[in-house]
Amino acid sequence: MIRAHILVCAGAGCISCGGHALKDVLATELKKRGLDEEIKIVETGCMGPCDLGPVMLVHPEGTFYQRVTALEVPRLVEEHFIKGRLYTKLLPKDDVTANVVTTQRDFSFFAKQEKIVLENCGLIDSENIEEYIARDGYAALGKVLTSMKPEQVIAEIKASGLRGRGGAGFPTGVKWELMAKAPVTPKYVICNADEGDPGAFMNRAVLEGDPHRVLEGMAIGAYAMGANRGFIYIRAEYPLAIKRLNIAIAQAYKHGLLGKNLFDTGYDFDIEIRIGAGAFVCGEETALMRSIEGRRGQPMPRPPFPAQRGLWGKPTNINNVETWATIKPIILKGAKWYASFGTEKSKGTKVFALAGKIRNTGLAEVPYGTTLREIIFGIGGGIPKDKKFKAVQTGGPSGGVIPAQHLDERVDYESLQKLGSIMGSGGMVVMDEDSCMVDVARFFMDFCCDESCGKCPPCRVGTRQMLNLLDRICTGEAELADIEKLESLATVVRDASLCGLGQTAPNPVLTTLRYFRDEYLAHVVEKRCPARVCRELLEFRINEETCVGCSLCARACPVHTIFKRDGQKKYYIVEDACIQCGACFDACRFDSVLKTSDGMNARSVAPAALETSSTRATKPVMEK
């Protein structure tokens, strides 16, 4: 008789801090204590609060343990399973209510979420199809194949209001309808599991934690659209997800849930995995298809759209992992149920990946219409170390920054677009007062420049030229005219690029200019970085009043430019040779190294910096 379940999170975050080892140690300890027959250990997918990993959930109580290390296991087993007491040392503290959390239900991180896509993640063993089936797995597929016509499936998806979760937000039902109408065969469905946005791992959690729901969604969609073959294009950087998908696919075939004559209805559906090779641009659907065909992953102009001419010239439907993962609950619980979540134009829920300067980094699934404040402070736990919120970057390198004055905006496609950003795939990077917005823009432009496929000059050369300008701004070498140049290049790259990568690459620049222009001006005119991030604009000084003379800074300095005052236990920095590496700042335990950006390093704050292209004098014409 099993009296308790220990769910050990085996999502990527927890594995990276020792989750696998934890499971083995737990198993050994339970066996040592003779408890291995009555307590079952289940390895699940990502539970969500990745910052607290490795995490563990004990059922039936629902006790949530955080930061469980191998060393803690013996005491935890003794306290919780033998003495029947909560092991309070490993209980999390709720940042919002400031209470110690005893059960998952009381944890505000989870309480405010609505898990639809993630309903099984963290609950089931993703390598065991039977656990998926036990939670209504493949019931939707059975229902569709045995009692619904393809048109009815499409009507249901249309009625649900589901929009593509990959970033564009195109109504999924309409997309399926277009594909279903295409008269050419064979047709294909594709799952875009390339997830290239830095800091985004929503798809990864689903693929690792609940892969069958993706397979089921694809099978349902393929039936509705008249396809018999599906491909999952997954990035090579997700080996665990690839492994779990392979296991899931093999199990599905074995159980007759993939392959020939599904549910005895004569419908065939096969799925193959195709692995990427490290190119962000292959997340773009036309580049993705070319990659599957074995060609260079370079996008092709649209129209023609994939539903008309896609893989090998045949009609193809591509959806994101999260979109496919939403099909099963819509079919089982109905379109009306799904449409009851969200806002008027953005129905349902979205999984967001919280990262950056936020207490609870991890995954959070909330209905559309939840405000940014609720997500960042309610679920995310706010900014650590009590720093001030500055901005949140949504949508990855295609998105934009949203400043504090818009924290009460509801998160949906239209609102974010109005603010100059995009929903994207759901990445949310939080920034505080110590983030330099120009540096943020430069980071994302560097990413786009590196990942550009190089087919069209506006993106290939335009992002390079914009990056050069941003570099100059961050190193204090720019003039005001460079900001104008940046803006005009941004327009060209946005309007003339062939695909979404180039078209959205200027967004971080454009939004940071819109909301934080003062920071740009500080960098350019005053040669000052208000957030004290941009190295070339920093000055380091030692506060000799508080300096205790421990010499740690001098020893850390790689260019040996920190010296001891004669006869005193005080140190000082000779600024000429300082390379602004910050090693002394990191080394000092007494807060005596001051990192400032006052514009003292300005190469020239001369009037020349204030010239714009319109005020610059024209070259005098030589008079004959």
Partner 1 sequence: MIAPKKITLTIDGRRCEGQEGQTILQIAQASGISIPTLCYLKHLSPWGGCRMCIVEIVGSPKVVPACSTPAVDGKQVVTNSESLQKLRRSTLELLFSERNHICPFCVMNKGDCELQQQGYRHGIDAISIPYLYPAWPVDVSGKYLALDHNRCILCTRCVRTCEEMEGTHTLDISHRGAKNRVVVDLGATFGTSDTCTNCGACVAACPTGALFDKAAAFRGKLNTCQTVRTTCTECPVGCGLLVYTKENRIVEVFGDFDSPVSQGHLCVRGRYETWAEPRQRILQPLLRRHEKLEPATWNEALEAVRQAAKKAKPAQKAVLVSPRLNNETIATLKKFERIGMFVARDEAALCAEGDRSPDSMAKLHDADAIIVLGAQPSRAQGVVAAKIRTTVRLRKAKLLIFHTRKSDLDQYATICANVVSLERKFWGRVAEELKDAKRPVLVYGPEAMTPIGVAVLERLIKIFEGKASGPAPALIALPTGSNSLTLAAGGIEPVEEVGPWLDAKPLKFLHIIASDEPDGGARLLDEKYVRPLLEEIDCVVVQAAYQSRLTDLAKVVLPATIWCEKQGTITNFEGRELPLQAVLPPRGEARQDLEILNAVLK
Identify which range of 35-43, 200-208, 401-409, 445-453 contacts partner 1 by CB under 8 A.
Answer: 445-453
The SS3 of residue 164 is coil
CB of 484 to partner 1, least distance (A): 10
| One residue of 105, 454, 543, 591 binding partner 1 per CB under 8 A | 454
Residue nearer to partner 1 on the CB measure, 256 or 304: 304
Q: Is 314 in the site for partner 1 (CB under 8 A)?
A: no
Tell me which DSSP letter residue 522 carries. Answer: I
Find, among 48, 31, 49, 51, the residue nearest to 40 by Cα.
Answer: 31
Q: How far apart are CA 491 and CA 513, in angstroms?
A: 13
CB of 198 to partner 1, least distance (A): 16
CB of 281 to partner 1, least distance (A): 8
Q: Do 5 and 59 contact (CB within 8 A), yes or no?
A: yes
Residue nearer to partner 1 on the CB measure, 345 or 472: 472
CB of 500 to partner 1, least distance (A): 10
CB of 299 to partner 1, least distance (A): 9
The DSSP element (H or E) to which 270 belongs, if any, is: strand 267-275
| One residue of 239, 301, 388, 579 binding partner 1 per CB under 8 A | 301
Q: How far apart are CA 544 and CA 112, in angstroms?
A: 49
CB of 497 to partner 1, least distance (A): 8
Residue nearer to partner 1 on the CB measure, 465 or 580: 465
Identify which range of 27-35, 101-109, 145-153, 454-462 contacts partner 1 by CB under 8 A.
Answer: 454-462
CA 2 vs CA 5, 59, 82, 564: distances in Å: 8, 11, 15, 68
Q: In sequence order, which residues have a C-beta less than 8 Å from that of residue 500 and are 6 or more positions away?
A: 167, 168, 284, 398
Q: How far apart are CA 475 and CA 443, in angstroms?
A: 14
Q: Is 307 in the site for partner 1 (CB under 8 A)?
A: no
Residue nearer to partner 1 on the CB measure, 156 or 284: 284
CB of 503 to partner 1, least distance (A): 8
Identify which range of 20-28, 50-58, 110-118, 451-459 contacts partner 1 by CB under 8 A.
Answer: 451-459
Q: How far apart are CA 506 and CA 283, in angstroms?
A: 18
Q: Is 168 in the site for partner 1 (CB under 8 A)?
A: no
Residue nearer to partner 1 on the CB measure, 5 or 464: 464
Angle between helices 202-209 and 239-254 (to 10 degrees): 40
Q: Do 44 and 119 contact (CB within 8 A), yes or no?
A: no
The SS3 of residue 139 is helix
Q: How far apart are CA 222 and CA 190, in angstroms?
A: 9
What pairs with residue 431 in β-bridges? Answer: 391
| One residue of 170, 304, 563, 575 binding partner 1 per CB under 8 A | 304
230-249 residues near partner 1, rule: CB under 8 A: none
CB of 452 to partner 1, least distance (A): 4
Q: How far apart are CA 622 and CA 624, in angstroms?
A: 6
One character per residue 260-299, x = contact with partner 1 (rule: CB under 8 A): -------------------x-x--------------x-x-
458-517 residues near partner 1, rule: CB under 8 A: 458, 460-465, 468, 485, 488-489, 492, 495-498, 503
CB of 402 to partner 1, least distance (A): 23
Residue nearer to partner 1 on the CB measure, 152 or 488: 488
CB of 607 to partner 1, least distance (A): 22
Residue nearer to partner 1 on the CB measure, 57 or 456: 456
| One residue of 34, 183, 303, 567 binding partner 1 per CB under 8 A | 303
Distant-in-sequence contacts of 567-574, Cβ < 8 A, 24+ apart = 570/542, 570/544, 571/542, 571/544, 571/547, 572/542, 572/544, 573/540, 573/541, 573/542
CB of 302 to partner 1, least distance (A): 8
Give me the count of residues in the chain: 624
One character per residue 129-158, x = contact with partner 1 (rule: CB under 8 A): ------------------------------
Residue whose token pair is 């060209």: 492
Residue nearer to partner 1 on the CB measure, 309 or 347: 309
CB of 300 to partner 1, least distance (A): 7
What pairs with residue 7 in β-bridges? Answer: 42, 57
Number of shown-chain residues binding partner 1 (CB under 8 A): 34
| One residue of 159, 300, 556, 594 binding partner 1 per CB under 8 A | 300
Q: In sequence order, which residues have a C-beta less than 8 Å from that of residue 520 and are 6 or more positions away?
A: 438, 473, 483, 512, 513
Q: How far apart are CA 199 and CA 426, in angstroms?
A: 10
CB of 522 to partner 1, least distance (A): 23
The DSSP element (H or E) to which 502 belongs, if any, is: helix 500-504
Residue nearer to partner 1 on the CB measure, 365 or 451: 451
Burial 318-341 (b: 16+ CB within 10 A, else e): bbbbbbbbbbbbbbeeebeebbeb
Residue nearer to partner 1 on the CB measure, 131 or 451: 451
Residue nearer to partner 1 on the CB measure, 244 or 455: 455
Q: Is 451 in the site for partner 1 (CB under 8 A)?
A: yes
Q: How far apart are CA 541 and CA 594, in angstroms?
A: 5
Residue nearer to partner 1 on the CB measure, 186 or 301: 301
Residue nearer to partner 1 on the CB measure, 455 or 528: 455
Residue whose token pair is 């007759």: 256
Q: Is 450 in the site for partner 1 (CB under 8 A)?
A: yes
Residue ranges of E strands in 425-518: 427-432
Tell me which DSSP letter residue 618 carries. Answer: P
CB of 201 to partner 1, least distance (A): 23
- Which residues bind to partner 1, rule: CB under 8 A? 279, 281, 296, 298, 300-301, 303-304, 449-458, 460-465, 468, 485, 488-489, 492, 495-498, 503
